[in-house]
Amino acid sequence: MDVIEELASLRVVPVVTIEDPGQAVAVAEALAAGGLPAAEVTFRTDAAVEAIARIAEALPDFLVGAGTVLNPDMARRAVEAGARFVVAPGYDPGTVAWCQYHDVPVIPGVDTPSEVMAAKAQGLTVLKLFPASVLGGPTFLKALSGPFSDVRFMCTGGVRPSNEAEYLSQPNVLCVGGTWLTPADALAEGDWARVSQLCREAKAAGL
Ligand code: 3PG
C-alpha cells in the first residue's frame, strides 16, 4: 500500500509534538497499541528530527511523517531522519518540488480555491485543509467538492471527537488529523494508556 492509501485506511492521523526525543518511541508504541500506527511529528520543537529518527529506526512498520515542514531544507532533514511523508500547514511550491523530486509523498496545506488550483497545477490531488474548522469545516469541504471533484483532503485544525465523524463522512476527506490524541499533559506524565485509549476512541468514531 502506498503512503497516501495507508493514511486513507487509517482515517485518523495523530499530529504529535515531541519535546523529549527519549519519549518518541514510547509515544509511537502507544499510538500503535491504540490502533493508529502512524504520526505526523511536527517541526515545532528541536526534538523533531531526532524523534523521527528514533521512531523510524525502532519501529519500521510505523508510518512516521513530518509536519509543520515550512521549506525544502526542513523537508530534507525530515526525510534524511526517516520521515516517509511530509505535511505542511501551507502551500510552498519549493517544498512540494523538493519532495516530488525525491519521490516523497507531500501534503501541503491549502485554505482557498486558488491554492487548490496552484497545488493541482503542480500535480497534487491530496492536500491538507488547515485550519479546517476555521475555514468552515464540512461546509467548506462540500463547497470544494464541486469544482475539485478529484481532490481529497487531510483535515486538521480543530478536529475533535465531537466533529470527527462529520468530517470523515464527507466523500472528499482522505483522513483527519489532530493533536487531541496526544495531549501535552499525557505526554508530560508518560500516560501511554490514555494515549492508546484516545486512539481507540478516535478509530471507533471514524469507522
Ligand atoms: C496541525 O498542525 O495539523 C494542527 O496543529 C492540528 O490542529 P489541532 O491542534 O487543532 O488538532
- pLDDT band for 206, please (50, 70, 90 cuts): confident
User: How many angstroms separate the alpha carbon of residue 178 from the centre of ligand 1?
Assistant: 5
Express each pLDDT in 16-50 by its tens digit. 999 999 999 999 999 999 999 999 999 999 999 99
The arithmetic mean of pLDDT across residues 178-203, rounded, is 96
pLDDT digits (tens, 9 = 90+) for 76-127: 999 999 999 999 999 999 999 999 999 999 999 999 999 999 999 999 999 9
Spatial contact of 127 and 108, defined as CB atoms under 8 Å apart: yes
Q: Catalytic annotation on 29? A: no
Q: Do the beta carbons of residue 11 and residue 153 sit within 8 Å? A: no
Contact 125, 150 (CB under 8 A): yes
pTM: 0.96
Rounded to an integer, what distance in angstroms lies between the CA atom of residue 35 and that of residue 197?
9
Q: Given pLDDT bands bounded at 50, 70 and 90, which one contains residue 207?
A: low
Among the listed residues 29, 40, 115, 120, the single catalytic one is 40
Q: How far is the CA of 94 from the centre of ligand 1 (A)?
A: 23
Point out the ligand 1 atom lying closest to the alpha carbon of residue 158: 10
Active site residue 40: yes
53 confidence band (pLDDT: 50, 70, 90): very high
Nearest Cα residue to atom 7 of ligand 1: 157
Using CA atoms, how far apart are residues 124 and 85, in angstroms rounded to an integer?
14
**All cell numbers assigned to 30:** 502507544
Ligand 1 geometric centre to CA of 98 (Å): 24
pLDDT digits (tens, 9 = 90+) for 108-117: 999 999 999 9
| pLDDT confidence bin for 205, thresholds 50/70/90 | confident
Give the chain's domains with CATH numbers.
3-205 (3.20.20.70)
Atom 5, ligand 1: which residue's CA is nearest? 157
pLDDT of residue 197: 98
Q: What is the distance between the alpha carbons of residues 28 and 24, in angstroms, rounded to a whole number?
A: 6
